[in-house]
Structure 1
Amino acid sequence: MKNNQKTKRPLVLAAVMLAMFMAAVEATIVATAMPGIVADLGGFSLFSWVFSSYLLMQVVMIPLYGKLADLYGRKLIFSIGIGIFLIGSILCGFSWSMEMLIFSRILQGIGAGAVQPIATTIVGDMYTKEERANIQGYLASIWGVSAIIGPILGALFIQYANWSWIFWMNIPFGILSACIVIFFLHEKVEKKKKQVDYIGAILLFVSLLTFMFVLIQIDEGLFLSNLQLLLIICVSIISMISFISHERKTKEPMITLSLWKKKEIRYANLASFMSGVMLLAVSGYLPTYVQGVLGQSPLVAGLTLTVISIGWPISSTIAGKMMLKTGFRVTAVIGGVALVISSLCFLTLPYFAHFLWAGLGSFLLGVGMGFSTTTFIVSIQSSVEWKVRGEATAMNMFMRLLGGAVGVALLGGILNRQLRASFEQVGQSLSIEPTIDAVNVLLEAEQRANLSLGEQQQLQTILASSLSAVFMSLFIVAIIGFVFISLLPKDSTKTNKSKTKILN
């Protein structure tokens, strides 16, 4: 099926890149600014929920948006998603408490579920497999640009303005991107009876939400009693079983489970889940380590994340050319090796306590993400037809973001539990109350200056040992991810070699 000839590919590609830039900058700025936000709003124990709430809604909405994009077209759903995302961004900037920020991030996540997967799907529609492999380098370069701009802006906003601007700066980018897509993307959507699996979406949301609460409960006694926790576990299991059963029976499932029968999709999705755990955990907790333990400024902490997005586009560009010659599996394995080495860098941070070592780990993480994710997307889009390409693309991003949401929640629970146990051992030897929120003091230079040298070192030791448990978990995740990558089929480049252009 060919689409309208009036589509302006260069302009639409620019709009897609702008939308992805907005999402990329959001990731680097928020991660960099979080220590400053926590220092202002308080509530370190809710730290992980700022990421988890956003990711949870994004994860739940991605497959729904993917299905809606296949039914109603990319343009409409993409524009609606950006609109919701911008409303959430505005509310984030006006947040007066950590609870308000979390609520606003939920709304922001609902819209964000449409931005990146549909943007990537639009590219998949406009270009052939060979063109997509090359153009992935251009798309990945967005991360390099945002990596330089994001942390610098984040640090400047924290030090000279207000952290609210890290959210408000999304507004012009989002509006411009949506307008270009609305006016210059022309697609031919099949006119057929539209059925959306809202029941499936609700069941998936309930299952994931309750599952996230269970993970958070690794931090003992944070919200719920044992009986309440048991009930939530039962609800999570029942709703997931119901979701799978419903998806198998319904005519228009939100997630086409049969897609998982393809090895290219199954193992790519599982590996994406693991890489998502690593990416979001590092983005969430590394700046805290660099600022709180190493005593560096927000700018330096941001720069240690910046190199993720420098390694990403470089490796993605190389991967785009390499996969056509060596195959998808070889290219993805290189990425898996880089992810394992990256996790070793973070694991050994206590022995090489320097921000440059943290930066090396981040760079290798970016290299691993570039080689693996680029390969996964091109492989998946090349193995399915147009009518399910949006869903298949969204599913891969769904798994990566689900990994991020689960990882942040799980590792946040581990971190809080380690911190709680350490502060219980400290007792009253500190001049401040020995609770998890005592970590807030390390993240604010003026408050840190009020501590004695001994107290500061004691708090840094507690935070460092607690984060070491997080980094050990990341190493295990990297190994599991490498196993999944190694299971990709060797002849995946020969699968469904379609050169048909969907958009011109």
Structure 2
Amino acid sequence: MVTTGLVAIDSTILATAIPTIVADLGGFSSFPWLFSIYLLTQAVSVPIYSKLADTVGRKPIILIGVGLFLLGSVLCGLAWSMPALIAFRAVQGLGAGAVQPMAITIVGDIYTLAERAKVQGYLASVWAVSAVVGPTLGGLFAEYLTWNWIFFVNIPLSIAAGWLLVRHFHETVPSHSHRIDWAGGALLTVSTSLIILALLEGGNAWAWASPQSLGALGLGVALLAVFVAVERRAAEPVLAPWVLSRRLLGVTALIAVGVGVILMGVTTYVPTFLEALLGTSPLVSGLTLAMLTIGWPISASQAGRLYLRWGFRTTVLIGVVIVVLSTAALAWTSTTPSVLAVGLSCFFIGLGLGLVAAPSLIAAQASVGWGERGVVTGANMFARSMGSAVGVAALGALVNSRMGGADASADPQAFGGASTAVFAAVAIAALAMAFVSLAMPRTGRPAPHTASDVEAAAS
């Protein structure tokens, strides 16, 4: 729970301080990189960490993640420019790439399906607390201290998480010889980095049809194709083809992509939208955004009861309907900005996502054994991280194309129109996720005290 708190607080504390950071360091057109570089390094490292976790165990990997997150936080707090802050956020992302999936994998290892429903409530309480603590601290630091403290606050949490893991978590790792697919990991890292670069800087640093944009995108796609070919021949691929060839795992991965796009589209732009158009303080905008991370744990804590009673597919479909309606409401009400309307929309978006994210991931985990659970969890988290990274990059490109590099505070009306376009794009992503969710196999109710044979039923 403490380890989860590192990622949970970081997901809400930064967005509220963006205007203050930009005012101090400059580089408004570059600020989406603070999110996308973090998400990119997190995404590309998740499959490697997950494969290593199935090889050497969960404990050393999660401890490495906590250490890197601590190092990145200290460096971010000491950053002297926007490029430096972006570079140090990459280090933080490398830590988060181990922390979040390993915490979820460990829960899948040590609890039965029925117990996971209860533990889900415990972990949801971490996000609920972080939903209030993160924006509050971010707003207070931005207004009354300095933005640097939004990173320094991770130091005691990281130390506590590391000590608790060393002291209390013990595991037995099966002894087998393994071959790590380093070539696949390198290809995945470079290809996805080039694609994100093309999406984020297209229409900003260079034109969409420029040689730089087309070259980065083309090379990224080509290397991604090479990665797929390498994975088919690798003895132990970093992202095994079977993970996406099974219907249940493929569908839940696509759902995770949608969750990533929606989550980052809302959390990245809601605070700046409120501060630029309504003149709200960082504290108020942060607490408004916190409604999303309050709604999420409320529904997530009850999701276990729903999927044990009605099945995973029905629970997910209920959630996507709520997400589609609430994202559409956010886009519609953004033309006449209101803190109340944005807060309510965020709350119901979180409520819906809580019924989508955890049940779909648990369905994937329950379909495999210990030796594959790390890879399956990692693939799902990789999909969500890539959705977040691509979403931030694409939405950032959309905003920059409309703003022409201008600061949001310099032209609030233009930024208001750009924000409406962003929220409309998020609603479209939610609708696409709804159609994907319909393809989730009908598996009935999972057995509460055993590893469910969800995948057997799906096939």
Q: TM-score, normalised by structure 2?
A: 0.95
**1:344 is aligned to 2:328:** yes
> Partner residue of 1:235?
219
2:310 alignment partner in structure 1: 326
What's the CA shift string for 1:423-458, capped at 9, x where partnerless? xxxxxxxxxxxxx3433xx2xxxxxxxxxxxxx7xx
Residues 379 and 493 in structure 1, CA contact (< 8 A), matched pair in contact too: no
What's the CA shift for 1:48?
Answer: 0.8
Aligned position for 2:450 = 498
Q: Letter of the aligned partner of 1:466 in structure 2?
A: A
1:438 aligns with 2:404: no
Q: In the TM superposition, what are the counterparts of 1:57-456 in structure 2 within 5 Å?
A: 57-222=41-206, 226-420=210-404, 436-439=405-408, 442=409
**SS of the residue 2:17 aligns to:** helix
1:478 partnered with 2:430: yes
Q: Distance in 1 between the 2:215 and 2:290 partners?
A: 42
Q: CA deviation at 1:416?
A: 0.2
Deviations 1:162-219 (A, max 9, x none): 1111111111111111122122211111222132111111100111111012212442
CA contact under 8 A between 1:61 and 1:110: conserved in structure 2? Answer: yes
Evaluate the alpha carbon distance shift between residue 292 and residue 327 of structure 1 in structure 2; reply closer, same or farther with a 3 A threshold: same
Q: 1:476 to 1:218 in 2, by over 3 A?
A: farther
Aligned to 2:35: 51
Task: Please give the per-residue CA displacement for 1:248-292, whole angstroms capped at 9, x wherever unaligned.
Answer: 110110011112232221111101101110101111111010000
Q: Is the 2:243–2:379 contact (alpha carbons within 8 Å) kept by the matching residues of 1?
A: no
Distance 2:102 2:295 in 1: 24
CA distance in structure 1 between the aligned counterparts of 2:90 and 2:205, rounded to whole angstroms: 24
- C-alpha distance in 1, partners of 2:311/2:348? 22
Structure 2 Cα separation of the partners of residues 207 and 59 of structure 1? 12
What is the distance in 1 between the residues matched to 2:209 and 2:428?
30
Q: Return the offset for 1:498.
A: 2.9
Shift of the 225–330 alpha-carbon distance from structure 1 to 2, 3 Å rule, reads closer
Q: How many Å separate the matches in 2 of 1:183 and 1:493?
A: 37
Aligned to 2:413: 461
Per the TM alignment, residue 408 of structure 1 is displaced from its structure 2 partner at its CA by: 0.3
In structure 1, the gaps of 5 or more residues are 1-16, 421-435, 443-455
The Cα offsets for residues 446-481 of structure 1, whole Å up to 9 and x where unpaired, read as xxxxxxxxxx7xx22111011111111111101000
Q: Is the 8 A contact 2:114 2:448 kept in 1?
A: no
Change in CA separation of 1:32 and 1:192 when aligned onto 2, cut-off 3 Å: same
Corresponding residue pairs, total = 452
Partner SS state of residue 407, structure 2 = helix
Task: Give 1:496 deviation, angstroms.
Answer: 11
Give the deviation of 1:140 after TM superposition: 1.2
| Superposed CA offset, 1:96-152 (max 9, x none) | 111000000011111110001000111111101111122211111211100111111
Range moving further from structure 2, 133-142 or 315-324: 133-142
Distance of 1:234 and 1:127 partners within structure 2: 44
CA deviations on 1:352-392 (whole Å, 9 max, x unpaired) are 42011111111111111110111012211110111010111
Tell me how large the CA RMSD over aligned residues is: 1.7
Tell me, which stretches of 5 or more residues in structure 2 are unaligned?
Answer: 453-459
Is the contact made by 1:140 and 1:370 (CA closer than 8 Å) also made in structure 2? no
Change (3 A) 1:493 1:258: farther
Q: TM-score when scaled to structure 1?
A: 0.87
In the other structure, the counterpart of 2:440 is 488
Return the index of the structure with the highest Cα Rg: 1
